[in-house]
Structure formats: structure tokens, C-alpha cells
Amino acid sequence: MNRVDLVAVAAHPDDAEVGCGGMLALTTRASSRAVILDLTRGELSTNGTPGTRAEEACSAANILGVRRHNLGLPDGEVGTSPGHRDALADALRTFRPRVLLAPYPDGDRHPDHAAAGVLARQAAFLSGLAKRGTGTPHRPARVYHYQMHHPFPPSLVVDITAVWDVRSAAIAAYDSQFHQDEDARTTAIDGTDFRDALTARARMLGGLIGARYGEAYYCEGPVGLRTLPDLEGADPDPRTYRAFL
């Protein structure tokens, strides 16, 4: 397996599209290589079946231009066995990403989301140990956490305006999860309210940085830069709203 630039860990098929679909689309648009690593098949979902989810996940991956791999861990039990950590570490040694994305590890209402964030941080460290696991050791340069349900103060916000339509199409590929008729709704996320909330969140995050749409990321510790970002490029348009100077 050739080394990839970015791996996005997701507890369930559709999590990566919701949380970091814009960054995935930006990565492949720049001719870099990205992989979505789904931990489970989402077999406990109220709507759809594992087979349906697999088909939708394949369609979404094609839209984003990424590869996809599923570890087959049990839905609802992510991180409950030490073997889960080793399985993810082995996958990181296979794909050898420069950067790892994972859900924010604190406070999410779905325990699998938070567990996936913790698992990713642990696996990222263990995958670099020469005396543990199989394959050639590899440790990602950085782990960034993306937002699912639980908000957090972002370390950085990425402008995803240019790929908003691609991100939206990838989410729309999960018809069984997000596009039920209002009269047939059975969960909190399968109607227009949830889709509207995703758009509102992206608009709010974009407003923080003077962009139309944004995605939030959190990282432990400072990010090293060669210069301040605003010393490069054109001056911002003074008519563009930004929440901060």
C-alpha cells in the first residue's frame, strides 16, 4: 500500500462526510491521497442495513475521490477491547498517513464518536512502536479532531467554501440516514432539521474566518508555522464579515 497524505477515522459510515468531508474534498482536489477508515459498519442504525450503508459509503467515497476501508469493529462497542486499538494501529501502518483526522474525543452524545477519537490518538502512538504489532512502524505527524455533535473551541477553521457542493453531495449519498420524508421520520437526524443544522454550523464557522463555509478542527499543542498566515497572500476584503481581527 502506497503512503497516503491523510486518513480520516470514522466510527460509522457517514461520520467522516459530516465531520470532515470538506477537508477530504480539498485534499483530493489538490491531487493528494486520502482514505476514510470506518471502524464499524453502522449495523445498529435505526434506518438502513449494513449492506445499504456499504453501498452509500462507496458512493460517497467516489464523490469525494477518496479510498475507503472498514475495520469491522462492533457498532456501539468501539474502544471496549484492546484489540480495537491494535487493529487501528495496524491499519495506520498500512496506509502510513502524514495526518490523521478523528472525531473530537470529549463529550459527544454518541459514545462511539468520543471513543473513536480516543482510539485514534492511542493507535497513532502505538503504530510508531517497533516492538508492538506487525509491519513497519509509522506514526502520523499530527492528529486533528473534527466536530460531530459536540461543539468545541476550534484550534483552526478550514475554509471549505470551494468544495461545499462536493461535501453536500457526499452527505446526500446517505439517503437511508439523512433524506427521509418528514412524515416518515424515525430519528433525530433523518429530517431537514439536521441538514439545516449542518449548514448553519458551517456558515457560523465560516463567519469566524471571513469565509462562507468552514470546518472546525482541534489539536493538542501548538501547530508549527514558518510565518504568520496573514503575512502571505492578498489583503482580506474589508467588506467580508469576520468575527475576529
Per-residue pLDDT of the chain (245 residues; tens, 9 = 90+): 578 999 999 999 999 999 999 999 999 999 999 999 999 999 988 888 889 999 999 999 999 999 999 999 999 999 999 999 999 999 999 999 999 999 999 988 899 999 999 999 999 999 999 998 888 999 999 999 999 999 999 999 999 999 999 999 999 999 887 776 666 677 767 777 888 899 999 999 999 999 999 999 999 999 999 988 888 777 778 888 888 87
Give yes or no for a contact between 4 and 27, defined as CB atoms under 8 angstroms apart: no
Burial label, 182 (beta-carbon count in 10 A; 0-12, 13-18, 19+)? exposed
* Core vs surface per residue 113-144: b (16+ CB within 10 A) or e: bbbbbbbbbbbbebbbeeeebeeebbbbeebb
CA angle 83, 105, 209 (to 5 degrees): 140
Element (H, E) at 151: none
- Top-tier CATH class for 6-231: alpha beta
